[in-house]
Amino acid sequence: MNLKSIQTKALLALALCVVIGIGCIVGLMSYFTVENAKGIAIDAVTGSQKLFTILENREISKMTAVSDALIMNTQVRDAFAAKHRSRLLQLTAPLYPQLKSQGITNWMFHTPEPGMSVFLRLHNPAKFGDHLNRFIDNEVVRTHGIVAGNELARAGFAVRVIRPVYDAKGAIAGYVEFGEELGQFVHALKNQTGNEYGLLLSKKYVDRQFWADSSAMWKRRDNWNDNSGYVVADKTTTNDNILRFTGDLDTIPVQGTVLERYSEGKSQFVRGIFPIHDAAGNTVGAMFVVRDISASYLKMRRTQDILLATTVVCFVLGVVLLLNLLNRFIFRRLLHIIHAATRLVGGDFETVIKVESDDEVGQLERLFEQFRHIFVELMKQMTAMQEK
């Protein structure tokens, strides 16, 4: 390889362009693949968060409608107003299994203020008389209106609706409360989206002993020590490895965040998380979202491979075409001029330089041909002079 040759330099420059071009294409495609994966992850997080809010609002509406129907029942109202617990239980107990089958797992009656306490728990009738003193209890006492929101209590994390019940004379007889465990939302979310979910609860708001007791009662493994800042209350997968979050739940942005993209075997996943607030606005938990993006990722990779192959083929064809054009219009004609000039000096006065076009090389060919004529004429004259 002659490194002084323009042809070699042009070839090297083109090869460098090909390498840079392909490198840029690969880099861009990788960037777009990462960005697309990020977009899918953001979509998974925001979509799940919106769906969670929709489910939450739907369940609040359902519990509000149930409470509307209940307080219109005068027998229930009067039994509650008379603080006749066994009568109230007798009237409401048949309804509880139906409501439970619809997801309403908590149903309580509370005595009015002052000293508001649990009067009857339909889901645990033997336990009553305790003071819960939660945010929603204080709110319903303050507003005497319907209060709804998430409440993380010792008994678990639930979306709750609490409202006042008035006796026949219009005085506050107490409060009725319905609640649905948020844990069941993860399964509804999975049914709707196909993503995997995990409900995390901040340990700051969960009682350690209660968690151990409830784990024993529900015959589930006590996972308190699995993570430092939170416990996994419910999840849609048996694979605990996918629920990885090392940060503080308090630091999760309101709109949620994408954590990472990762692979497991041939599958590609993205993880995200969004916070769950209680009625008081505290970040008491979070929903972990895992989306399998293998299909989309495979498509993106396939597109990347096709684009890369197309680019390589186009570049190589372009280089071949360009070199061919350079050879045809420049290098071959220059070599012919060099060849003709060498032969001219060697005594061949017959090799004519044909002007092939009117371009820059053509101008050189014309100039050289004119020069050749002058040279030949001079040679003839000098030869004649020598012979004389």
List of residues contacting another protein (CB under 8 A) = 341-348, 379, 382-383, 386
User: 74 CB contacts (<8 Å, ≥6 apart)?
Assistant: 168
Nearest approach, Cβ of 343 to another protein (angstroms)? 5
Shortest Å, Cβ 377 to another protein: 15
CB of 344 to another protein, least distance (A): 7
Smallest separation (angstroms) from another protein to the CB of 338: 10
The identity of residue 250, as a single letter, is D
Evaluate whether 297 touches 37 at the Cβ level (below 8 Å). Answer: yes
Smallest distance from another protein to CB 380, Å: 12
- Between 114 and 347, whose beta carbon lies closer to another protein? 347
Residue placing its CB nearer to another protein in the complex, 61 or 342: 342
Q: What is the DSSP string of 101-128?
A: HTT--EEEEEPPSSS--EEEETTSTT--
211 vs 223: CA distance, rounded Å: 9
Nearer to another protein, 253 or 346 (CB): 346
Q: In angstroms, how far is the first alpha carbon of the chain from the final one?
A: 50
Write the CA distances from 74 to 71, 81, 146, 318, integer angstroms: 7, 10, 19, 88
Q: What are phi and psi of 79, to 5 degrees?
A: -65, -40
> Nearer Cβ to another protein, position 3 or 385?
385
CA distance 275 to 313: 49
Shortest separation between residue 349's beta carbon and another protein, angstroms? 10
CB of 302 to another protein, least distance (A): 57
Structural element, H or E, at residue 360: helix 360-387
Alpha carbon 113 to its chain centroid, in Å, reads 47
Nearer to another protein, 50 or 343 (CB): 343
Buried b (16+ CB within 10 A) or exposed e, 183-211: bbbbebbbeeeebbbbbbbbbebbeeeeb
Inter-residue contact 193 to 213 (CB < 8 Å): no
**Which residue, 13 or 379, has its beta carbon nearer to another protein?**
379
Measured in whole angstroms, the distance separating CA 142 from the mean position of its chain's CA atoms is 41
Nearer to another protein among residue 8 and residue 383 (C-beta): 383
